[in-house]
Amino acid sequence: MAKIVIAGGSGALGRRIAADLLARGDEVVVLTRTARPDRPYRQVWWDGATAGTWAGELADAVVVNLAGELVDRRPTAANIALLTRSRVQPTMALAEAAAGLPQAPQVWLQMSTLAIYGDGGDTVIDETTPVADGPPQMAGVARAWEAAAAGAPVGRQVIMRTGVVLDRGTPALDRLVGLVRWGLGGRVGTGRQWVSWLHIADLLAAVRRCIDDPGLSGIVHATSPEPVRNAELMARLRTALRRPPAPPTPEPLVRLGAVLLRTDPALALTGRRCLPGRLQKIGFEFAYPTLASALADLLRPGRRKDPDTSLI
């Protein structure tokens, strides 16, 4: 049993990770600004910006850092600053707290995003690929996030760059399902942009592996071994939801819709063909390696939500 301290554990993904680690017998502590009485793990207050009385929780523990505001917002200068600040400040506070301890954290699992590679086109991207210079949202935000964690005093640090995590009751999958059900399930733009995705069960298994495996450090891609183009993603969704073919959504309409929905059109119009090279090298087995199998599980009729998603 390990002691796991999670920063950003109040969000949808953080709650899933916390519930998963608690279920296997770990001691889970969530750093939060607002404690919730319905959570089954210990919650400790922090302001997400400065080292405080919570710092002692990190001693000899595993730190999982996924603190940050949701990325689904317009790419304005103010929003980019918010996304950056909401990630960098908590990360620097964690590093400062760790530096003042007699015992450093054993492991630091720093969450990040494959969007750090920008619009990758058809290039096959693995952990050795250089990161992109832009755009500021999200490549620039991710670079700043990872840089804030660099050099933190810790026994072992893993930077987990994740693809689009598919899980019921979360914004990414819910928005896609909604579009298909509204008759907007055709390809987006050219439909050739690559989507690197991951079933929630495989994300949780990858988190456990990164925490437990002393041979893993540095950059690790958490993404399915079979990325798909946007056109295939939409077709698979239509099949899973039993919807007929739908007309494409042209790029100008995507950009207009992004304004109305207050989101970033780049989330739909750009992509990356990323592979989980290091996980594959160590023999990690994906429960849902194909998009068809992942959607069949997540969208099957009558499928109940997992226990933690009822709290989302």
42-74 residue pLDDT tens: 999 999 999 999 999 999 999 999 999 999 999
pLDDT digits (tens, 9 = 90+) for 132-161: 999 999 899 999 999 999 989 999 999 999
pLDDT score for 309: 42
- For position 98, what pLDDT does the model report? 97
User: How many helices, marked H, and strands, marked E, lie in the chain?
Assistant: 10, 13
Strands 42-45 and 27-32: parallel
Task: Give the pLDDT score at 302.
Answer: 67
| Average pLDDT of the segment spanning 93-104 | 96
Round to the nearest angstrom and report the end-to-end CA distance of the chain.
Answer: 27
Could you report the per-residue pLDDT of 220-276, keeping only the tens digit for each?
A: 999 999 999 999 999 999 999 999 999 999 999 999 999 998 999 999 999 999 999
pLDDT computed for residue 169 by the predictor: 87
**C-beta separation of 127 from 278 below 8 A:** yes
The pLDDT of residue 261 is: 87
Domain boundaries, the chain: 3-311
pLDDT of the residue at 171: 87
φ, ψ of residue 216 to 5 degrees: the values are -100, 125
Segment 188-193 shows an average pLDDT of 98
Model pLDDT, residue 311: 35
Note if the pTM is more than 0.75: yes
How does DSSP assign 108-169, residue by residue? EEEEEEGGGG---TT-EE-TTSPPP---IIIIIHHHHHHHHHTT-S-SEEEEEEE-EEE-TT
DSSP state, residue 188: B
Mean pLDDT of 101-107: 97
Residue 304: the pLDDT is 58
User: Mean per-residue pLDDT for 117-135?
Assistant: 97
**What CA–CA distance (Å, rounded) separates 60 from 50?**
20
Which CATH superfamily hosts domain 3-311?
A: NAD(P)-binding Rossmann-like Domain (3.40.50.720)
- In the chain, the percentage of residues whose pLDDT exceeds 90 is 90
Closest CA relative to residue 274, chosen from 215, 209, 228: 228
pLDDT at residue number 303: 63
Q: What angle do CA 191, 194, 199 make, to 5 degrees?
A: 115
CB 180, CB 230: distance < 8 Å: no
Q: What is the mean pLDDT of residues 26-49?
A: 95
E strand or H helix that includes residue 4:
strand 3-7
Distant-in-sequence, close-in-space partners of 37: CB < 8 Å, separation ≥ 6: none
36: which DSSP letter? -
